[in-house]
């Protein structure tokens, strides 16, 4: 099986980009180890702190953030980082041209129940003379990402990665520490009978989403004429991995549960990297009103509605939003 670095070199990635990706993965291997140790390394449970978005931070959220932040800022490859767990961006090497946005640990509510969690990352470029201390350097639409990926800490540790030439899936060989190419090109089937949504929010959805899901639930007797299955892992990284593996529709739609927070997922380090991975595998990623990768971000922690997955099913869902 082929190892990650030669695969990236064959794709024409610059030496620096390959090194940057390997740097991110070095931190992810350590996170994988800590997640695997669980209670044995005393990393389960919460801290007394909240992040800027008002979520209580888990010990592993903080630890994963620190590992990624330290290794990236020390590497010299990045001008700045943005993280779910950092109030603002953090400057690195002022002469570097790469910036990285990340969700250090996605699926925090799964940590203490030994369920799926992962790390999501997005790599963009900026001018050499751009100001490393200016958060505005991150406000670029997702179609400008040069690479995006996630590492899923599951029964095996897997990496989904794209540099704009398809989405590949690697598996971590824990005895030797290499990511090996186990799935050359992910290809999401255009049609599906599987969807993922947190159904407990049903009464807070827009009429469009209420109608769409009602028609899915009506099964073969309803307007869709087929029976659907439902799955919800409560970690975007796990749900997106299932969609990349066998198709499906994943959505975290707009809701009115908290009038000040109509959307849950964050654009720069959740929606954008996942949208690139999904589109590079032949799927679609949309908000209901626009393509996710075309959104011009206004704020680093901006949230958006997300509807992604199998092309025909996402289009069917968008039909209800017209």
Q: Give the binding site for ligand AHG (CB under 6 A).
A: 55, 84, 103, 106-109, 198, 234-236, 252, 264
Residue 220, annotated as binding a ligand? no
Helix (H, G, I), strand (E, B) or coil at 154: coil
For the bound state, the minimum distance from the C-beta of residue 12 to Mn ion, rounded and expressed in Å, comes to 31
For the bound state, the minimum distance from the C-beta of residue 321 to ligand AHG, rounded and expressed in Å, comes to 20
Closest listed residue to residue 82, CA positions, set 118, 43, 124, 111: 124
Residue 290, annotated as binding a ligand? no
Determine the length of the chain: 322
Residue 216: CB atoms within 10 Å = 23
Contact partner at residue 234 from Mn ion, ligand AHG, none, CB < 5 to 8 Å by partner kind: ligand AHG
For the bound state, the minimum distance from the C-beta of residue 190 to ligand AHG, rounded and expressed in Å, comes to 23
What x-and-dash track marks residues 6-45 binding Mn ion by CB under 5 A?
----------------------------------------
Q: What is the rounded distance in angstroms from the CA atom of residue 303 to the CA atom of residue 268?
A: 8
Positive/negative CA dihedral, 197, 35, 138, 168: negative
For the bound state, the minimum distance from the C-beta of residue 109 to ligand AHG, rounded and expressed in Å, comes to 6
Residue 11, annotated as binding a ligand? no
Contact partner at residue 247 from ligand AHG, Mn ion, none, CB < 5 to 8 Å by partner kind: none
Q: What is the rounded distance in angstroms from the CA atom of residue 75 to the CA atom of residue 65?
A: 15
Residue 87, annotated as binding a ligand? no
CA 156 to chain centre: 18
> Which span sits near Mn ion by CB under 5 A: 54-62, 124-132, 241-249, 311-319?
54-62
Residue 75, annotated as binding a ligand? no
For the bound state, the minimum distance from the C-beta of residue 107 to ligand AHG, rounded and expressed in Å, comes to 5
Show Cβ contacts of residue 217 under 8 Å, excluding neighbours closer than 6 positions.
228
Task: Considering the complex, state which of residue 170 and residue 252 has its C-beta at the smaller distance from ligand AHG.
Answer: 252
Residue 215, annotated as binding a ligand? no
Q: Which residues within the stretch 78-117 sit at the binding site for Mn ion (CB under 5 A)?
A: 84, 103, 105-106, 108
> Measured between alpha carbons, how far is residue 285 from residues 122, 251, 296 in Å?
16, 10, 15
Q: What is the rounded distance in angstroms from the CA atom of residue 212 to the CA atom of residue 274?
A: 23
Residue 30, annotated as binding a ligand? no
Contact partner at residue 124 from Mn ion, ligand AHG, none, CB < 5 to 8 Å by partner kind: none
What 210-214 contacts at long range (C-beta under 8 Å, 24+ apart), as own/partner pairs, is 211/320, 212/316, 212/317, 212/320
Task: Considering the complex, state which of residue 18 and residue 237 has its C-beta at the smaller distance from ligand AHG.
Answer: 237
Strands 98-106 and 56-58: unpaired
Contact partner at residue 254 from ligand AHG, Mn ion, none, CB < 5 to 8 Å by partner kind: none
Q: What is the rounded distance in angstroms from the CA atom of residue 268 to the CA atom of residue 97?
A: 18
Residues 211 and 320 sit within 8 Å (Cβ to Cβ): yes
Binding site for Mn ion (CB under 5 A): 55, 84, 103, 105-106, 108
Known binding-site residue numbers for Mg(2+): 84, 103, 105-106, 270
Binding residues for substrate: 106-109, 198, 264
């Amino acid at each position: 099986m082929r190892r990650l670095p030669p695969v990236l070199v064959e794709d024409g990635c610059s030496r620096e980009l390959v090194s940057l990706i390997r740097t991110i993965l070095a931190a992810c291997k350590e996170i994988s180890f800590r997640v695997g140790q669980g209670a044995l390394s005393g990393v389960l449970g919460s801290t007394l702190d909240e992040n800027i978005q008002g979520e209580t931070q888990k010990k592993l959220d903080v630890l994963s953030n620190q590992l990624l932040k330290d290794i990236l800022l020390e590497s010299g490859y990045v001008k700045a980082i943005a993280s779910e767990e950092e109030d603002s961006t953090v400057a690195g090497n002022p002469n570097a041209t790469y910036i990285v946005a990340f969700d250090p640990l996605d699926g925090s509510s799964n940590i203490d129940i030994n369920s799926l969690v992962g790390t999501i990352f997005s790599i963009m470029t900026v001018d050499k003379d751009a100001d490393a201390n200016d958060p505005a350097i991150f406000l670029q639409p997702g179609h400008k990402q040069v690479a995006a990926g996630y590492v899923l800490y599951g029964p095996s540790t897997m990496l989904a990665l794209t540099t704009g030439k398809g989405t590949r899936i690697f598996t971590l060989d824990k005895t030797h520490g290499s990511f090996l190419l186990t799935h050359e090109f992910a290809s999401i089937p255009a049609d599906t009978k599987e969807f993922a949504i947190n159904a407990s929010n049903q009464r807070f959805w827009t009429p469009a989403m209420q109608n769409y899901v009602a028609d899915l639930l009506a099964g073969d007797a309803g307007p869709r004429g087929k029976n659907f299955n439902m799955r919800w892992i409560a970690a975007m990284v796990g749900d997106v991995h299932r969609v990349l593996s066998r198709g499906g529709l994943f959505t975290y739609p707009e809701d009115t549960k908290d009038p000040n927070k109509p959307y849950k997922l964050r654009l720069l380090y959740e929606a954008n990297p996942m949208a690139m991975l999904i589109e590079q595998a032949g799927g679609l990623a949309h908000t209901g009103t626009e393509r996710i990768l075309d959104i011009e971000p206004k704020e680093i922690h901006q949230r958006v509605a997300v509807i992604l997955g199998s092309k025909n099913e996402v289009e069917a869902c968008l039909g209800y939003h017209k």
